[in-house]
Structure 1
Amino acid sequence: MQAKATVIGAGLAGCEAAWQLAERGVAVTLCEMKPEKRSPAHHSDDFAELVCSNSLRSGDLSNAAGLLKEELRRLGGLIIRCADATQTPAGGALAVDREAFSRMVTEEVRRHPNITVAHGEVTEIPAEGAVVVASGPLTSDALFAHIHKLVGGDFLHFYDAAAPIVTFESIDMENAYFAARYGKGTPDYINCPMDRAQFDVFWEALTTAEEAPVHGFEDAKVFEGCMPVEVMGRRGHDTLLFGSLKPVGLPDPRTGRDPYAVLQLRRDNAQGTLYNLVGCQTHLKFGEQKRVFSMIPALKDAEFVRYGVMHRNTFLDSPRLLGHNFELRADPRIRFAGQVTGVEGYIESDASGFLAGLAAACALSGRPAPDFPDTTAIGALGRYVSNGTVTKFQPMNINFGILAPLGYRVKGKKEKNMAIAERALAVIDSLKGEI
């Protein structure tokens, strides 16, 4: 008799979990509430919708995000395969055409013979059978209440924000230029320079602009990796000059010198008709966004096709609840995956879905799951969210700090990171036969 499993949520984590289960002969029911119901962040009916950015971050193996992506490639991940196939130019980063990416994931999932898609809101976790809950950081109220009752205690939360998108044809290229920072990689970013006087006017407007109401909003609860630009700006006049508006390594070809400040725009689709305001996640009112960002000379006539939005993200107190394969300790037939577990970032959500789906498939077949150690990025991520010694749990991107140290000295940060990456990939290659 064919083993069966339910996956709740068709985001990156849910699609990956469903795929890994299905590839191992399990009959999967993938439950997705779209199009019948949407969260505030949803815009498309496709699966694996990218909301905050179209970038999956660095592809360099000396970067932990690059290592995690390479591990998933070697392990046969669905999401990374679709990302590679829909890649758009972004220097050393892996960025995708978000619509083509989501469409490809949706098509791959729907055509798999072992996956059945069930549309409609899920309000309770099934009482029997293997389940992977990948309901995302905007879990619906009814399911949220059921999970809360199931696990007891308190959920945690933080606030997440997305950046505006403008059309390429509306950017004033006489006041902008293509370049890669320090000349590394291909010049895929549009750079919008400001002098001191222009930045001062922009900063004053940004930090005093009217925000959209967000119930319960507190600056202290904003996740650092996706902080609204106005919140960052309020930390000090020069704060943005060391962050998203950092001009170093981006000389203006008109002067040959680095400008006072630079806003970078990243291509948002393969055609290059849309560009994302990098680092400008915001929850200002829409009219205020147009007013403030149009103060940047290159954007004075910009056409905004999407304004920034902000929403409350919810995640579990995972170190108290989950094992390193994302199983609920109190009921191991239930696993969680994605941002609801406290992993932060697209590729991290994908990795959690991979582990949860693989481990669930192994449990259904009566075999132990491969044990990814903390010398690998994927293993370290699972062990971080399940580490009971973590007293104040916060969302975490993959980073070399949570991987096991080498045990010997290597001179140079990049060289050390490359040594860690080579060790990790050797472990991954040795485990491929088990999966």
Structure 2
Amino acid sequence: MTGVFSLLPDGRHGLLGPPFDGGADLSRHLAAGGYAPLPAPGRLLDRIAAVGLRGRGGAGFPAAVKLRTVRDAAGPPVVVANGEEGEPGSVKDRWLLRHRPHLVLDGLRLAAALTGAARGHVYLSDAPAEQAVRQALAERPLDLPVDVVRAEHTYVAGEETAVVRRIDGGPALPTAKPPRPYESGVGGAPTLVANVETLARIAALHARPDDADLVAGAHLVTLSGAGGAAALVEVTAGTHLTVLADLAGHGRAGAVLLGGLFGGLHGAGWRDLPLDHDGLSAAGGALGCGALYFLRPEDCPVAVAAEATAYLAAQSARQCGVCVSGTGALATTLGAVARGEASDGTAETLRRWSRQLPGRGACGLLDAAAHLAATLLTHFPDRVDAHRGSACPACADPAPCDGRRFTVPVP
């Protein structure tokens, strides 16, 4: 069973708000200070910079830098609320759009004011989220025109150039960079593509300036795994992963898959890892979209890596030859390892590919697949070696490529 929990200190409410009761989102948002006038956009932008708010889409780029870059670009800009969650193990963006649409839209109108944008878009693929956003816009229209753009759900559809391409009427597929959207985006205009959690935090910073550090430092995290419950949790940065595992009944976990499929596998020592960008990066992982998948002691990390790379290979946009061949080779080889068909040189081949492939595709999909292989070899070399000549029971079935193991229902 899924759940929604807040672990913020002193009983304070973050983006999740009070325990969700299905009540009217607009009245709740207005009561919390939402849609307040913005007399001095520069002051809010300075506050965003001062508290170090980072984007919540995966890369963790400083939000103030991105806002200023779009503001200072040539030509009238466009702002986009990006709610397309490609990671199957993440639910935070769809949850916000379904249950806190006014918080996201408030952040979108503030981003427009900060950048000087005269039009905006909400980009998503989830039908219930689209219905909630359209209803919210009908309840309280923003002071700039906003289009709701629906895309087909794929792993790469939320990549920022894919977002721009779809809004402009094309397929939701990444394009080569440069230019990046802040240089030339929707209709050729400088474009801010901002994750919906990032926008929600901007709205919360404006409504509750006294809680600025808490708002900027907290994260929405999706917890899942076969050994416990799935949950959406708001937690302060730096919280040890063992606290989150225990909360959702994953205390027996022997390993964790970090940041959706992007942050890789982590074995011994995972319990002491802090939930923040710098701490996880220093440990060779990544926070990414904040999705954590816990592996039970009886789960085989080889099977998890094989299934994850099979999914990524199936989700390739098939525009970059190196991605098609690279993800395919990684998936095929890890599948062979899982089946007990690895040779003496297989591990070294995977290690070489994990060094050579990152950065060569138009988006991060190939990087994610390569990092999965690299972290499997780093943290579980003995498990890989044990598969030479024989598969373990957990790897008996072929790895499906639909992401079913990692998929979490929206609570």
Q: TM class, shorter-chain normalised? A: under 0.3
TM-score (norm 1): 0.25
Greater helix fraction, Structure 1 or Structure 2: 2
TM-score (norm 2): 0.26
